[in-house]
Amino acid sequence: MLPQQAGAVAVSASSQVINRGEYLARAGDCVACHTVPNGPVFAGGRAMATPFGNLYVPNITPDDETGIGHWNAEEFYRMMHTGISRDGKLLYPAMPFASYTQVTRDDSDAIFAYLMSNPPVKQKNREHELRFPFNNRELLIGWRSLYFKEGEYKAVAGQSVEWNRGAYLVKGLGHCSMCHTAVNALGGSSESKAFEGGMIPNQNWYAPSLTSSHEAGLGDWAIKDISDLLQVGVSHRGTVYGPMAEVVYNSLQYLTDADAKAMAVYLKALPQKDGTPAPTSEARLVSPDVMEVGRKVYVAQCAVCHGAEGKGQTPSYPPLANNKSITMASPVNAIRMVLNGGYPPGTSKNPRPHGMPPFSHILSDAEVAATVTYIRVAWGNTGTPVVAKQVNDLRTLLPE
């Protein structure tokens, strides 16, 4: 055994567990929900809008009165694994216990050790504001019977160690399917529809399908492009914006290169479920006048970054030609980008990202619709036209 260098500090086993727990808590993106923007870390209080009303996220600092100071590791694991709190209450599935159930006991214990190492914050939890009958937790028994399957992740025989690690992170801590799977009227999702894409409830962003080559299917992506998108926020095949940019900023940028690659390996291997022929361009359905308005706006506002032919300048400025995130059936993301603009996240590997300015203040609904239509059908793109009402519906959501 090599002697320690002079002045070196020995790392205790408990410190190693806490450090691992911090890494795992990052992978699970716990801070995003349990911290109010610019508020004390993990002190809760953040409103989570749902179709049934607002849920308010609890304080998970080690405060004895308002946090988890009196919890033990067994109770924390029970909550993660079964979705049942220390006091026996059934948790609402906004807490992704349907994914976290796959987290191992060792990893759960490490996360708990990390949370207990943080400064306690005395901040009382706020009661949920859910409409009747959704404020009746007993209804969750039915939801759980339909949509919750308890059990730690078990390695799949015949798959590599790397694939299994990626599956564990994607399906467990990463809870990626919560956004990338459509949610029904009961707030549940079908396992058979996992990763097939859907609207993110109450956020008005569309999380694309990861199993369809018509959307964000990754079967023909290079592993490095997938891992870069996850960890860096930009790659030569795409850029993250909106809710996914927040996930990369708060969580995925902190992954090791090995874990980012493992997730990429698993995601690339997801079975593709395309059951329909590739769509064709709908340019013939667009009025020449609309196309001309869209073209003029594009030349004046967009071409300087994305190129006259939509080829972009990767990875800083994504291509728009042959970009499936532009031609998806849902045009919501493209409309929001033109209205809102946006930046990919600033990450350690891309600390000064290039962004896109908003155009809501200078373009009318008709001009935005024409521009998005032009982008979705030009250069052989296979999107469908957009109308002004679709733009206006999203414009009304902008802050005044």
Q: How far apart are CA 386 and CA 369, in angstroms?
A: 5
Mean pLDDT of the chain: 91
pLDDT at residue 13 tops 70: no
Flag whether 103 is in a domain.
Answer: yes
Same domain, 230 and 298: no
> Do 115 and 88 share a structural domain?
yes
Domain that holds residue 61: 13-147
- Domain identity same for 143 and 23: yes
**How far apart, in Å, are the Cα atoms of 13 and each of 9, 72, 254?**
13, 19, 22
Q: Are residues 71 and 119 in the same domain?
A: yes
- Say if residue 51 is in the same domain as residue 124: yes
Residue 5 placed within a domain:
no
- pLDDT tens-digit map of 35-45: 999 999 999 99
Q: What is the C-alpha separation between 164 and 142, in angstroms, rounded?
A: 31
pLDDT digits (tens, 9 = 90+) for 206-217: 999 999 888 887
Q: Are residues 190 and 257 in the same domain?
A: yes
Q: Which of 263, 279, 272, 167 is nearest to 211 (CA)?
A: 272
Determine, yes or no, domain membership for 400. Answer: no
Mean pLDDT, residues 367-389 taken together: 95
195 and 131 in a common domain: no
> Looking at the domain assignment, is residue 152 inside a domain?
no
Is there a single domain that holds both residue 128 and residue 171?
no
Both tokens assigned to 117: 């190492």
pLDDT of 158 higher than 70: yes
- Residue 368, number of CB atoms within 10 A of its CB: 26
- pTM value > 0.75: yes
* Residues 355/343, Cβ–Cβ less than 8 Å: yes
- In terms of domains, do 134 and 244 share one? no
What one-character-per-residue DSSP string does 117-172 give? Answer: TSPP---PPPPPEE-TTTT-GGGHHHHHHHH-------PPTTS-HHHHHHHHIIII
* pLDDT band, residue 392 (cuts 50/70/90): very high
pLDDT, one tens digit per residue, over 75-125 is 999 999 999 999 999 999 999 999 999 999 999 999 999 999 999 999 999
Which pLDDT score, from 0 to 100, does residue 11 have?
Answer: 40
Cβ contacts of 399 within 8 Å, gap of 6 or more: none
Question: Do 195 and 261 fall within a single domain?
Answer: yes
End residue of a domain, out of 233, 268, 303: 268
Please determine, for residue 181, whether its predicted confidence score (pLDDT) is greater than 50.
yes
CATH number, domain at 349? 1.10.760.10
Would you say how long the chain is, in residues?
Answer: 400
Listed residues 209, 235, 268: the one ending a domain: 268
Tens digits of residue pLDDT in 352-366: 999 999 999 999 999
Residue 399 confidence (pLDDT) above 90: no
Say if residue 341's pLDDT is above 60: yes
> CA 343, CA 346: separation in Å to the nearest integer?
8
* Number of domains within the chain: 3
User: Does residue 84 form part of some domain?
Assistant: yes
What's the start-to-end Cα distance of the chain, in Å?
64
Which one is predicted more confidently, 192 or 4?
Answer: 192
- Do residues 57 and 83 share a domain? yes
Q: What percent of the chain has pLDDT over 70?
A: 94
The residue among 121, 147, 173 that closes a domain is 147
Q: Are residues 140 and 166 in the same domain?
A: no
pLDDT band at 5 (very low <50, low <70, confident <90, very high): very low
257 in a structural domain: yes
Does the residue 273 lie in any domain?
no
Residue 153 lies in a domain: no
Give per-residue pLDDT as tens, 228-268.
Answer: 999 999 999 889 999 999 999 999 999 999 999 999 999 99
If one counts every other C-beta atom within 10 angstroms of the C-beta of residue 3, the result is 6
Q: Which of 363, 361, 384 is nearest to 300 (CA)?
A: 363
Give the β-pairing of 198-200 and 205-207. antiparallel
